[in-house]
């Protein structure tokens, strides 16, 4: 009966202490040693209580400890460690002498869970042997409150630290067999999130736990996520099966598995009816330079994954992809993404993207085939270039490296072949411009922001070296107009330097084709005689005539204008101006050189 006598003595002592020192607090040094021993025995972790401890008996029994640390017995710098600024436990008086104490409320103030970031799965952290035993004898806790918690993930070798901070949580369980409910919030960097969770333990321990979760993450998801799943933990593997739920009002389903023995390994398969994501990149003004802000891919080194995602509709900011299907593999810091089917802007795209973050400077490799995609929204969204529209076909083979968007653009190498059909060049109407020029040369070179030149076909191939994309085979065909050109696109500077030779097809047969002479001898295009330059930032390029090219042979330029005017106005069903007859008011008469010089002066002010 010795244990009973000891328990009675402890209870009597506590009652006397309560009468004498109510609301004052008494030293708890005698209890801290017992607490340390009990936790180490039940969990296998070493506990250090560096701060003070107190016991209060009113209005409820409360044990408070300060500066508590729990870690593995070997306590290496790469092992998990839990540090808590303050631990406060409220419990009934009877729990002080119970073999299985019952805590009504456990409050953890400023807890920090430190986890190592591991590059190799062989670097698994050993779990203390006692932690693998059954949890018989551990305290029953009705409520846990976490205030200002954090999860800190560090790699001493890579000198990095990642933090999930501002953790507030409230976990409750009404009885030993009832459901566990939890709610709270946290911050991933600058992105807040909040959650609600209910876990219903099964009556048979061999059955999975039914989990319901609600997640709000406005920095990542545009709508609230609600899901239900069956979870089972075996050794270090968490299996989550039968996932079903809704993102906003769009359903999804799938499964997942996470192995947390050392470096985490994740397997995930999810299918969404509609997936709405917040755009990762911030909107920038049109024409703004590439950002030099560091891009952080080092986190790819600390998890291995096999992921399959599909969605009937994927929205990333303003971009809409429908449908979308992709498989991703991540191992040893190398992420490979294969998009087997992406429906975008009326067409489809397939390709592979590889990001190698295993070295100090990440490298990138992209191969992509595009078919039937509407060019204007794609190019405008990716590069702020809005001068081309039409159905696009493209083949891209690109590679680069760098730690910022500007560095990636500067180091870009590879090739690109681009074709468009049934579209337009925006910002210039070559047909109207030449018609006005031949009819009213005194009005000069007239353009308007709303101008556009219809195109039937457009094609160009580029060789890209260190961010400089060079083409020598630019070709364009449209109603009445054909054009060839060459030049350079400076990707880091976002500028164009292209020169084009516009020509007119003065007969209807054979139009709208890049094939030379397709309409017979009468359809051979006639050079305009004034090369066109396209220069400046690609968000607002200047399109202007190459004056030097026209001044090389003004007589020939004038004769071309006369022929173009006659053929063009005949084709359009109107009468050309009377350039051929001498006019009493025309000081140049039949002198073509003088007339050409006059036109040039009117056009260009020279």
SS3 assignment, position 543: strand
Beta-carbon contacts of 118 under 8 Å, excluding residues fewer than 6 positions away, are 78, 124, 125, 155, 262, 263, 302
Per-residue confidence (pLDDT) for residue 433, from 0 to 100:
65
Render 183-213 in DSSP notation, one character per residue. Answer: EEEEEETTEEEEEEEEEE--SSTTSPEEEEE
Q: How are beta strands 26-27 and 46-49 bridged, if at all?
A: unpaired
- Phi/psi-derived region of residue 233, left when phi > 0, alpha when psi is between -120 and 50, beta in every other case: beta
pTM of the full predicted structure? 0.78
Helices (H) and strands (E) in the chain — how many of each? 8, 33
Residue 593: pLDDT band (50, 70, 90) is very low
DSSP code for 409: H
Question: What pLDDT, in 10s, does the model give residues 128-180?
Answer: 555 444 444 456 788 999 999 999 999 888 888 999 999 999 999 877 778 99
pLDDT value for 33? 66
* 502-559 pLDDT, tens digit each: 777 655 444 555 554 444 444 566 555 567 888 999 878 887 776 565 556 656 655 6
- For residue 605, the model assigns a pLDDT of 41
Phi, psi of 133 (to 5 degrees): -80, 165
- The neighbour count for residue 189, using CB atoms within 10 Å, is 10
Q: What is the 3-state secondary structure (H, E, C) of 10-67?
A: HHHHHHHHHHHCCCCCEECHHHHHHHHHHHHHHHCCEEEECCCEEEECCCCEEEEEEE
Give residue for tokens 């906003």. 248
DSSP state letter for 574: S
C-alpha–C-alpha distance, residues 464 and 490, integer Å:
10
- Give CA–CA dist 256/271, Å, rounded: 12
What percent of the chain is modeled with pLDDT above 70? 67
Look at the chain and count its residues. 606
Q: What is the pLDDT of residue 279?
A: 65
């Amino acid at each position: 009966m010795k244990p009973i006598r000891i328990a009675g003595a402890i209870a009597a002592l506590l009652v006397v202490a309560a009468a004498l020192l109510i609301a004052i607090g008494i030293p708890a040094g005698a209890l801290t040693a017992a607490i340390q021993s009990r936790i180490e025995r039940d969990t296998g972790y070493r506990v250090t209580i560096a701060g003070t401890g107190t016991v209060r008996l009113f209005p409820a029994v409360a044990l408070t400890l300060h500066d508590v640390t729990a870690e593995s017995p070997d306590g290496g710098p790469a092992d998990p460690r839990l540090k808590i600024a303050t631990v406060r436990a409220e419990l009934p008086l009877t729990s002080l002498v119970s073999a299985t104490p019952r805590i009504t409320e456990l409050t953890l103030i400023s807890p920090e869970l430190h986890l190592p970031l591991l590059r190799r799965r062989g670097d698994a952290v050993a779990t203390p042997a006692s932690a693998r035993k059954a949890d018989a004898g551990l305290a029953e806790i009705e409520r846990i409150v976490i205030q200002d918690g954090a999860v800190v993930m560090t790699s001493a070798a890579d000198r990095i630290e990642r933090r999930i901070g501002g953790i507030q949580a409230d976990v409750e369980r009404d009885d030993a067999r009832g459901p566990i409910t939890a709610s709270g919030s946290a911050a991933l960097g600058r992105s807040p999130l909040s959650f609600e969770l209910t876990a219903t333990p099964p009556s048979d321990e061999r059955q999975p736990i039914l989990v319901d979760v609600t997640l709000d993450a406005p920095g990542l998801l545009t709508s609230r996520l609600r899901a239900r799943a069956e979870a089972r933990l075996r050794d270090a593997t968490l299996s989550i099966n039968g996932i079903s739920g809704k993102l906003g009002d769009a359903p999804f389903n799938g499964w997942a598995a996470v192995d947390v023995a050392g470096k985490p390994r994740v397997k995930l398969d999810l299918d969404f009816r509609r997936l709405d994501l917040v755009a990762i990149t911030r909107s920038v003004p049109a024409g703004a330079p590439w950002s030099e802000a560091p891009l952080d891919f080092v986190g790819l080194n600390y998890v291995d994954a096999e992921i399959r995602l599909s969605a009937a509709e994927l929205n990333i900011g303003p971009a809409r992809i429908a449908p979308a299907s992709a498989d991703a593999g991540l191992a040893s810091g190398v992420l490979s993404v294969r998009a087997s089917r992406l429906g975008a802007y009326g067409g489809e795209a397939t390709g592979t993207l590889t990001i190698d973050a295993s070295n100090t400077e990440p490298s990138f490799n992209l191969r992509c085939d595009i078919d039937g995609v509407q060019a204007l929204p794609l190019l405008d969204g990716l590069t702020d270039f809005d001068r081309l529209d039409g159905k696009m076909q493209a083949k891209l083979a690109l590679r680069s490296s760098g730690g910022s968007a500007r560095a990636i653009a500067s180091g870009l190498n590879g090739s690109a072949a681009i074709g468009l059909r049934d579209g337009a060049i925006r910002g210039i109407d070559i047909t109207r411009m030449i018609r006005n020029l031949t009819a009213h040369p005194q009005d000069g070179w007239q353009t308007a922001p709303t101008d556009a030149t219809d195109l039937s076909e457009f094609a160009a191939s580029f060789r890209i070296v260190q961010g400089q994309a060079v083409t020598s085979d630019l070709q364009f065909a449209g109603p009445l107009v054909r054009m060839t050109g060459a030049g350079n696109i400076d990707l880091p500077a976002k500028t164009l330097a292209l020169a084009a030779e516009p020509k007119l097809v003065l007969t209807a047969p054979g139009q709208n084709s890049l094939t030379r002479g397709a309409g017979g001898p009468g359809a051979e295009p006639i050079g305009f005689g004034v090369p066109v330059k396209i220069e400046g930032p690609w968000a607002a390029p200047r399109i202007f005539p190459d004056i030097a090219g026209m001044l090389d042979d003004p007589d020939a330029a004038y004769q071309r204008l006369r022929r173009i005017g006659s053929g063009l106005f005949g084709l359009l069903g109107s009468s050309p101006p009377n350039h051929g007859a001498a006019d009493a008011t025309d000081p140049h008469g039949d002198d073509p050189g003088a007339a050409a010089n006059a036109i040039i002066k009117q056009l260009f002010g020279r």
